[in-house]
Amino acid sequence: MNIQTIVKVISAVFGLLGVVFLFRIIGVGDEEIKMAASMGDFGAVSPLVSLSIAILVITVIVTVLFSLLNLASSGQKLKKSLLFIGCFVVVMGIAYATSTGVETPMKDGEILSASGSRWVETGLRMFYLLAALAIGSMVFFGGKKIFNR
């Protein structure tokens, strides 16, 4: 049995389980699920959610494993990847260092901690820094290409 056949069988099993759980949810009905959920019973929906989480975990593990195996086969690819990961970490460090955190009330009455607020601001700053770097590199290399003609 080759790997493609194994993957097809596993996919078919997961697909059939998903269909069974979906028909179970449809059979129970919306109102009964809402009533049970308001009392803390998520029994009708939990198996489908657990299946989705299992599929996600398996997908992430397989993707990371094959990516690492591909990188390990070529020293040049590994070196380049580690360089870009290092650059990303530097950008994250700069964004984190320039961010501040303040406790923030949210719409649902909860309070976002100062640490959570700082990480949100870090994410926004990273987005802006990476967007500026991408736009800058496009302008630089586009201009370089125009002037070298």
- Residue 1 above 80 pLDDT? no
Domain locations in the chain? 1-73, 75-149
Q: What is the mean pLDDT of residues 47-74?
A: 89
Label residue 40 left, alpha or beta by phi (over 0 means left) and psi (-120 to 50 means alpha).
Answer: left
**pTM for the model:** 0.59
Closest by Cα among 143, 139, 142 to 131: 139
In this structure, are residues 62 and 11 in contact, taking their beta carbons and an 8 Å threshold?
A: no
pLDDT tens sequence across 43-58: 888 888 899 999 999 9
pLDDT of residue 73: 80
- Residue 78 above 90 pLDDT? no
